[in-house]
Amino acid sequence: MLNLTERDRAMLDGAHGPAAQFAMSIVVRMAEVYGAGELMDISHAHVDSAIYLGDATLEFAERLASLGARVAVPTSLNVSGVDECGWKEWAVSPEWAAKAARQMLAYERMGAVPMWTCAPYQTHMRPKFGQQIAWGESNAIAFANSVIGARTERYPDLLDICCAITGRVPAVGLHLAHNRAGQLLVRLVGVPRTLQDDDQFFAVFGHLVGQLAGDRIPVVDGIVVSPAEDHLKAFAAAAASSGRVALFHIVGVTPEAPTIDAALQGRMPDETVDVTMADLRAARDQLTTADGRELDMVILGSPHFSLAEFRALAPLVAGRRAHPRVKFLVTSSRLMKEEADKAGVLAPVVAFGAQITLDTCILASPMLPPEIATLMTNSAKYAYYAPSLLNTRVTFGSLADCVRSAIEGRVVRDESVWQRA
């Protein structure tokens, strides 16, 4: 039985205007689906709904905007369907660009902040430990819950904006401390520090953990390195693509997992799985669907490339040129590009021959011309989705592999970290 406050009820009855009524009716209906007893406040939202897919997503956005919708809490916007400044360099049609831009405008009119990034946690709108938030975008949900310790359910598009407009969510799931206990214990066995330190490791391991976890919260034990934030980002994105992971704990690394016992909240795990080098090699192989060394394009930046990633890329490409036959694309946010420019790490990347796409990515915008058939990436998320969404073959490799392959004009990978320890 759902108990609503007087204010909730007033919103539902239209006292706060037709947009709030529309949004609250959906939040309440979803509270019934979840079996919630009440709604609770949030103090931040991240809205994935601005991504243009077709007429339905645009009609939904413009319906809300025309009703006068305003967000009730600070709200950031995820990627859109178009790079407003750069789409003409690609295969995007003018009709797509126009409709995607209309959808962007609709959400901006609601008062959401046009960050246009799938890595909002790397901006000034990063939430805090324990903060109650309503976030969409699978990688961002997993990162916010796990790495920051903020609390969000796994919010789908169309509901995220309704939570932002009402400032209310069903009081269920990962908003509540007792639902955040780990359930599946994943132990790394015989995985050497040299591999854990490699920039590919967390993406591959995340891809594997996503498959192992099912609908359970995984707890990872056996990490002996201090992972960089972008490595945890890669893990979150991978696990939320191959699986439905919205929260993970890494013992000794993430804030709710100082110990195994803390991560499990004193309970026994439902299951314990050991992960070996052989399992990781198999997971790595799954991320590659290409079988030759042909290469049309290197694609980096899912989730959006960060300043630290630009800093790592710059020295690898400084003074070099990508092969004239190979496109080299980095997808990022306006903010990160500006910061990389200020830090002097954008210029060498551009001089290398890289293109930078902002606000969106190759999966969210129909950018790629049909002659692009083979991709290489260091992103498990790009590697997971590109074959299905873009009908391309893909090779997964490290950042250094991607750069070297772009220079040589064919796929080359350093296998040394994957050899038996």
Partner 1 sequence: MAARVIAGRALVSGDAEGEALVTGEALSFWGGYDFRTGEIIDRHHPLAGVRAAGRILAVPCSKGSSTTTAVLLEAVRAGTAPAAILTTGVDAFFALASIVAGVMYGKSFPVIALDASDFASLETGAHLIVDRDGRVSVS
Three-state DSSP at 404 gives helix
Q: How far apart are CA 233 and CA 142, in angstroms?
A: 9
- The residue assigned the tokens 């939320």 is 240
**Residue 274 Cβ vs partner 1, minimum distance, rounded to whole Å:** 23
Q: How far apart are CA 249 and CA 226, in angstroms?
A: 14
Q: How far apart are CA 352 and CA 324, in angstroms?
A: 11
Site for partner 1 (CB under 8 A): which residue of 97, 263, 363, 367? 363
Considering only 58-66, 106-114, 312-320, 336-344, which stretch makes contact with partner 1 by CB under 8 A?
Answer: 58-66
63 binds partner 1 (CB under 8 A): yes
Residue closer to partner 1 (CB basis): 54 or 68: 54
Binding residues for partner 1 restricted to 16-45, rule: CB under 8 A: 22, 25-26, 29-30, 33-35
**Residue 59 Cβ vs partner 1, minimum distance, rounded to whole Å:** 7
156 binds partner 1 (CB under 8 A): yes
Q: How far apart are CA 230 and CA 228, in angstroms?
A: 5
Site for partner 1 (CB under 8 A): which residue of 16, 20, 24, 49? 49
Binding residues for partner 1 restricted to 112-151, rule: CB under 8 A: 136-138, 141
Q: Give the residue from 217, 301, 210 showing the smallest Cα distance to 254.
A: 217
Three-state DSSP at 201 gives helix
Residue closer to partner 1 (CB basis): 98 or 389: 389
Considering only 52-60, 93-101, 313-321, 345-353, which stretch makes contact with partner 1 by CB under 8 A?
Answer: 52-60
Interhelix angle 307-317/334-342, rounded to 10 degrees, is 50
AA identity, residue 124: H
Site for partner 1 (CB under 8 A): which residue of 353, 385, 408, 417? 385
Q: How far apart are CA 247 and CA 186, in angstroms?
A: 14
Interhelix angle 229-242/380-390, rounded to 10 degrees, is 40
Which residues contact partner 1 by CB under 8 A?
A: 22, 25-26, 29-30, 33-35, 48-49, 51, 53-57, 59-60, 63, 136-138, 141, 153-160, 210, 214-215, 240-244, 286, 289, 363, 384-385, 387-389
